[in-house]
Structure formats: C-alpha cells, structure tokens
Amino acid sequence: MTNVDLPIDRSIDPTADQVRALRDHGSDGPVVMLNLLKFRDSATYADDAGMAPCSGAEAYDRYQHAFTVTVGAISQAEVLYDGPVEQVFIGMAGTPETDWDKVLIVRYPTRRHFLAMMADGAYRQALVHRYAGLARTVLLQCGG
C-alpha cells in the first residue's frame, strides 16, 4: 500500500525529552532495549519511495538490517532475542496492551552507542522502513 500524502506517525519516535533523559541519566554501561512490535498488514511507503510492496514485518526487517548491519560498527547492536509473540500468558488477550507481533531485545555497549546510531545518516535514512512497517511500538530501556 502506498500513498503520496502519507503522514509519518511520530508517536513511534522518542520525544526530545526522552532522548535527553537517555543521554543524561543512567549508568555508563550496557543498555538493553526491549522492543514490542505491532506490524501493519501491508507496509505503507510513500509513492515516491520506490519500494516494492511488502508486509509491515518485511519493511521492519529492512530497518532492522540498518541498525544491526549497515551501521553496526557504530551501534555495535547485539540482538539477544528476535521472535514472534506466541500467546498472552498473563494479561487480557486481544487488548492493545497485549497484542504484539514480535519481541526484539537488543543490547548496546553503552547509551552513547545507541545515541550515535540514532544520529547516523544511514540509520536516519532507514527510518522510512520503520515508519512503513510499524502500526505501533513500545521501546523499554533496561539495564544491560
């Protein structure tokens, strides 16, 4: 699915305050990011993006390649877990709070590595795939 006037959903981006909090607070050691991901059925690229139609999950895979491989030397991202959500064990199944497609757990050596990745030009170009693929997300910062 494409749409030339497709707005970017910034609700899946960190706010400036959240980035400052990550930058300014916490230990200097490793950081682990727990990603809860809900994909669109079909990726929603702008018409001028030049992308072949694909699922939201496939679009997100393109984005994931960017932060693990394309800018891997900068991020030093280590994927600890990458897999589907199979069932809700505790919680109310079928609610937005429990309705996720995939869990991705990624470890970075330091907060600085994560922030350097976010500032990298190649990473920022790959965000088009994240926007196209995700319906919604939660990203939880954990100790490493």
Q: Under a CB-based contact definition with an 8 Å cutoff, are residues 60 and 123 in contact?
A: no
Q: In whole angstroms, what separates CA 38 from the centre of its chain?
A: 10
Q: What is d(CA 49, CA 21) in angstroms, rounded to the nearest whole number?
A: 33
Break the chain into its structural domains and give their ranges.
25-86+95-143
User: 61-99, pLDDT tens digit by residue?
Assistant: 999 998 888 888 898 999 999 999 999 999 999 898 899
User: 32-71, pLDDT tens digit by residue?
Assistant: 999 999 999 999 998 888 888 899 999 999 999 988 888 8
The proportion of the chain whose per-residue pLDDT surpasses 90, expressed as a percent, equals 60
Q: In whole angstroms, what separates CA 14 from the centre of its chain?
A: 11
CATH architecture of the domain 25-86+95-143 equals 2-Layer Sandwich (3.30)
139 or 16: which leads in pLDDT: 139
Q: In whole angstroms, what separates CA 26 from the centre of its chain?
A: 21
